[in-house]
Structure 1
Amino acid sequence: MRDFTDEARRPEHAPGDHPKVPRERTGLLLANLGTPDGHDYWSMRRYLNEFLSDRRVIDYPRWKWQPLLQAIILTKRPFTSGAAYRSIWDTERNESPLLTITKDQTAAMAERMAARYGEDVVVDFCMRYGNPSTKAKVRQMVEAGCTRILFFPLYPHYAGATSATANDQFFRALMEEVRQPVARIVPPYFDEPAYIDALAASVERKYAELDHRPDILVCSYHGMPKRYLMQGDPYHCQCQKTTRLLRERLGWETTEIATTFQSVFGPEEWLKPYTVEEVARLARQGKKSIAVCAPAFSADCIETLEEINEEIRESFEHAGGERFTYIPCLNDDAAHMDALAGVVEANLAGWLD
């Protein structure tokens, strides 16, 4: 984010000891899940500790969960998760793909906001876990003169463990500000026509590149305990609607597309069908060629680049599958960024017109 301190001025008629005040602006803060600072043991342990200590992610009683987390999980999991991150790590930039892509998305959004609003909108990004932190970025925006902040969790679908916890952290950051900016939260955009169009276009492009047509497109969404659905979390229903809208936009039959859920963790039942099991079942049923996309992720990350393109691919091939195609997330694709910019403009209405 640009440094605006040189533009700060003392208010007219203010006494000489009055602090300088920056010109009022509106902040747009994009938020993603997060990334460890490195794939070494201690970087992974810090990241996993913050992530797995979040009550929105794991809601077991602390007296039961924390001893298990600290004494067992965090002594072993940093090694396995670190190896997974190492397999996708950008060694040249020394950062994860999620961080690189989020930076690119932020730059693309800043270009669109500058073209629409000039310098009235300050665009930046933060991570729920790891760096850059939500607290630090809110502080920077306030110092830059942002008296209003539009907070945008980059999740098409609402879930307590994604959108809600990102919002929680944003609200915590606001609690520490002497002069709180006015705040708005961008709602889920899982059924926005421009987002569905961008998603469909990415599928059509990938299919056009292939020398064969996959037997089925698997839309793999991040999973959650089924219990959360029963408690009222709308995530499952929103995912199902995205798949339906994508199918209708593509003009396909119901047999050509499926909804599954990945990243199961812990002993309880999660949303089904599980992607890793479903792709194996499809292979055994004779579906020798499949494509997989991940509509719930706005940017490629460990769950797509390592879990889908390695673990889930392996499950499909071991069950007899022959051709596995991964369709990348929308990332900083122009149509995707145009769709997100449209969502932003709609939510800035009344503040900036």
Structure 2
Amino acid sequence: MDRTQAPADHPKIPVEKVGILLANLGTPDGTDYWSMRRYLSEFLSDQRVIDYPKWKWQPILQGIILSIRPQKSGAAYRSIWNEEADESPLLTITKQQHAALSDSLHARYGDQVLVDYCMRYGNPSTASKVRAMVEAGCSKILFCPLYPQYAGATTATANDQFFRALMQETWQPAARTLPPYFDNPAFIDALAQSVTRALPDGQPDLLICSYHGLPERYLTAGDPYHCHCQKTTRLLREKLGWDKDRVLTTFQSKFGPEEWLKPATVDEVARQAKAGNRRIAICAPAFSADCIETLEEINEEIRDSFIEAGGESFTYIPCLNDDAAHIAALTDRIVANLAGWLD
């Protein structure tokens, strides 16, 4: 509707904007049992994550796993919790990314854009942020899952939740989703800069690129995640100018009895230490922000595995978080995908 031609008694319609909605995995609201149980129940009930039939999986999840796992996960979260803000590091960093990207995009587009963030699991929910954007006048929304590599269990389920939110809207905005950016030159440059910055004394014996794992059958079913991870590692190694045998791809966070992508990071670091590679560095190129899988799993559990096997020097290279080069790379991808909507 042309707002200049609306009759005087027409309900007020906000000025049109383009929404840019950043999406990350999610976070529990607290580290107590019930907060962890709510979060884990939502996460592990997602059939993009655990695709077993509901009749088989839900009794196991609700009756056994969620009786035990919330205490263990709560303890892990407490070891990294942002006590000052009373929130998980993932939420703190996502807020920082949002602030930086909002500044970057408003500098380019002014009030034509509204930038916000949501979580696939937990709060703030995707549906609540889509609703807020529609109410604010967003007639178009670019949905941006912050996963460089595509996987059904990350990018696809985030998109699913976005589309479910759109189904609730009477007047749906036009919608686009941000494609994976695992091989984007600006993203690879940002990764390489983070490695160089973290290793001022030169190359360790090995650089391990640790990615969140998936069951092997997801790969054979057509999920491109494994290939995206391998290419990210190769491009990073080439950008650094390092030899092939100095950079490895591994996978972490195995869950359940199935065969997962290999090699497993926790086992590989121990094997490398025993083989004489006593100085390693690890980065996590699948994570846009530091979280439980990096701050606790890599920097505690995987570090311990390496040291116990005889390793001497373990360097964890933080995720890109709100690093200026990362924000520039994300801005570049967002601007490219706003073409035709905003120029």
TM-score calculated relative to the size of structure 2: 0.98
Q: Quote the offset at 1:15 in angstroms.
A: 4.1
What is the correspondence of 1:165-314 to structure 2 with a 5 Å cutoff? 165-208=157-200, 210=201, 213-314=203-304
Superposed CA offset, 1:271-316 (max 9, x none): 0000000000000000111000000000000000000000000000
How far residue 100 of structure 1 moved from its aligned partner, in angstroms, is: 0.3
Q: Give identity over the alignment, percent.
A: 72
Deviations 1:239-283 (A, max 9, x none): 000000001001110011000000000000000000000000000
1:67 and 1:205, CA in 2 relative to 1: closer, same or farther beyond 3 A? same
Instruction: Summarize deviations over 1:33-54 as a string: whole Å, max 9, x none.
Output: 0000000000000000000000
Runs (5+) with no aligned partner, structure 1: 1-8
Amino acid at match of 1:67: P
Greater Cα shift, 231-240 or 12-21: 12-21
CA distance in 1, matches of 2:149, 2:334: 16
Q: Does 1:331 align with 2:318?
A: no
- Alpha-carbon distance between aligned partners in 1 of 2:95 and 2:260, rounded to the nearest angstrom: 32
Please state how far the C-alpha of 1:55 moved relative to its aligned partner. 0.2
Specify the SS of the correspondent of 1:329: coil
* Displaced runs of 4 or more, over 6 A: none
The structure-2 alpha-carbon separation of the partners of 1:13 and 1:250, relative to structure 1 and needing over 3 Å to count, comes to closer
Contact 1:10-1:21 at 8 Å conserved across structures? no
Partner of 2:333: 343
The Cα of 1:214 is off from its aligned counterpart by 1.2
Can you give the 5+ residue segments of structure 2 that lack an aligned partner in the other structure?
none
Indicate conservation of the 8 Å contact 1:10/1:19, yes or no.
no
| TM-superposition CA deviations, 1:181-228 (whole Å, max 9, x none) | 0000000000000000000000001111x4x64100000000000000
1:140-194 CA deviation, whole Å, 9 max, x = no partner? 0001100000000000000000000000000000000010000000000000000
- 1:17 Cα deviation from its structure 2 partner: 3.9
Indicate the SS of the match to 1:306.
Answer: helix
Please provide the CA RMSD for this pair.
Answer: 1.2
How many correspondences in the alignment?
343
* TM-score where L is the length of structure 1: 0.96
What is the alpha-carbon distance in structure 1 between the residues aligned to residue 197 and residue 174 of structure 2? Answer: 41
Q: 1:71-90 counterparts in 2 under 5 A?
A: 71-90=63-82
SS for the counterpart of 2:199 is helix
